[in-house]
Amino acid sequence: MKVINKSFIALFCALLSACGQDDSSNTAGSDGQNVDLILTNGKVLTVDEQFSIHNTIVVNDGLIVATGEADLASRYQSDNILDLGGKVLMPGFNDSHTHIRGRPQRYIELGNVTSIIEIQDLIRSKIDEIGEQEWIIGYGWSEDELDEGRRPLRYDLDDAAPNNPVILTRAGGHSAVSNSLALQLADVTLETPQPAGGVIERGEDEELNGVIRERQGIVSRLVPDATYDELIASLEINLNALLSMGITSITDASKPPSEFAMWEELYENAELPLPRSQLQFQWFDVDGINDVKARVGDGTDFLKVGPIKVFADGGFTGPAAYTLEPYRNQGEYRGYLDMPEEELVAHLNEIHDAGWQMGIHAIGDAAIVLVVNTLADALERNPREDHRHYLNHFSMRPPDLTMELMAEHGIHITQQPNFTYTLEGRYAENLDGWRLQHNNPLRSPMDHGITVAISSDILPIGPMVGIYAATTRKGMTGTVYGPDEIISREEAIRAYTATGAFLNREEGLKGSLEPGKFADMIVLSADILTVPEDQIMGIEVEQTYVDGELVFNRE
């Protein structure tokens, strides 16, 4: 894995190109130059300001030298000239809000399960592997994708694991289900007080059903720590898997500073190709954050410290997002802030005054209003040029006044339109009318002048679901929600590439295929601009390049 810092070279090349060339092909003085790679006879989506489309791209020393028409290839010398056969080549996806983790042996992957019976079978298989009495954990189930049409509950897990404590986290991470033994070990009973900011659920029989929203840590705190070797080996595999989906850069949206050293070791010694990564830290360990920043500075081209992560409220899978009006058919229930309002306000002001950029988890409209008002006040009290604070999620459309404040103060968004698809059932159950139709808004904040990036939050992580949902507004059932929030394919591609780089202050280095930038690019199996909408999610990434090197080839 390369750790040579090319950032200065890339910026210098980009500035030289901008000052010396009006033609995007940037070919002056190039006759006969030897280069590492030429890809030609394709549809090259540069995602520059004009969304220029070319035929050929030239790469040398990991950087883009030029883009242009077919004759461009004849102006350079290379031992590696590839015919794209008319296929689309575009920048690699920049997932500006995701979560990639190493997993221990006790973990079971539930992202693709289709029934509670399948979950039970996976639990039984894991018991055969690690033995009885051992904790079993898992992540990724969604009731919307299970044949039974409901959540797995305590009794389902008891049937599969009467002698092993089990806790399985729902996709999205905002709720989890535990079996009876796990609840017993955690001393969770009918007499346990409801935790601040969370819910210990009861079923219709008034017994515990095993589900805990937002505060599932009262059980998961008992799970033994994974070993370092387990985590780093699994992390390498999980990061490498992103390249097959065309993801060449990520922002991991929640890490303790203590974990940065593991990522450093991995990037220094990795045997597999990896995407570029920025890690967001939470402010609860200020000394740890400052120690890492003092030690690594700006990091490398592949691993950097990102913005500070702050949680304002819960999520929709509980639901626990903090809303202006009560949830549908749930009395006066409006979800929760992650901490008392005065504490959250003080928290945001403290981080802003310390000079850090923030990426703030805000899902419900009430949480969005509170965070935006707080940031606007902080910026008027203590102006900071180009602060680039942004909201993660923005799942409910807030009042227009709030979006006007965001545009006025340069408060940005990283949005997950894939939620409209995969969380359709949760929105339909908990929201109604205008609020349901305008879940995960894109067109309206863009029209207000807000900069909006697209990311995944791993629900699912594959970018094609996000592109599909952003450009069709369709849920899993095919229902269209708020067609007035649709954006174009070009806008969706830009939001998933160049705008993500902008949020990370790396727009001069990556996110578009312009001279001087990193040659991080992907080749698609179909034309993402013209394929029928019902085929978008079927588009595959055939090749992925990072630094101009082929790091994934589907063949």
Residue 328 contacts residue 429 (beta carbons within 8 Å): yes
Q: Check pLDDT > 80 for residue 331.
A: yes
- Report the candidate in 507, 533, 551, 547 with the shortest Cα–Cα distance to residue 48: 507
DSSP 343-378: HHHHHHHHHHHTT--EEEEE-SHHHHHHHHHHHHHH
- Cβ atoms within 10 Å of 314's Cβ, excluding its own: 27
pTM metric for this prediction: 0.87
**For the segment 65-96, what is each residue's pLDDT rounded down to a tens digit?**
999 999 999 999 999 999 999 999 999 999 99
Q: Check pLDDT > 50 for residue 29.
A: no
Indicate the SS3 state at residue 209: strand
**For the segment 378-415, what is each residue's pLDDT rounded down to a tens digit?**
999 999 999 999 999 999 999 999 999 999 999 999 99
Domains of the chain: 1-92+511-555 (2.30.40.10), 107-220 (3.10.310.70), 229-510 (3.20.20.140)
Cis preceding-peptide flag for 319 (omega within 30 of 0): yes
- Say what the pLDDT of residue 27 is: 44
**For the segment 236-285, what is each residue's pLDDT rounded down to a tens digit?**
999 999 999 999 999 999 999 999 999 999 999 999 999 999 999 999 89
Cis preceding-peptide flag for 460 (omega within 30 of 0): yes
**For the segment 147-201, what is each residue's pLDDT rounded down to a tens digit?**
999 999 999 999 999 999 999 999 888 899 999 999 999 999 999 999 998 999 9
Q: First and final CA of the chain: distance in angstroms?
A: 23
Half-sphere exposure of 60 (CA within 13 A, CB side): 16
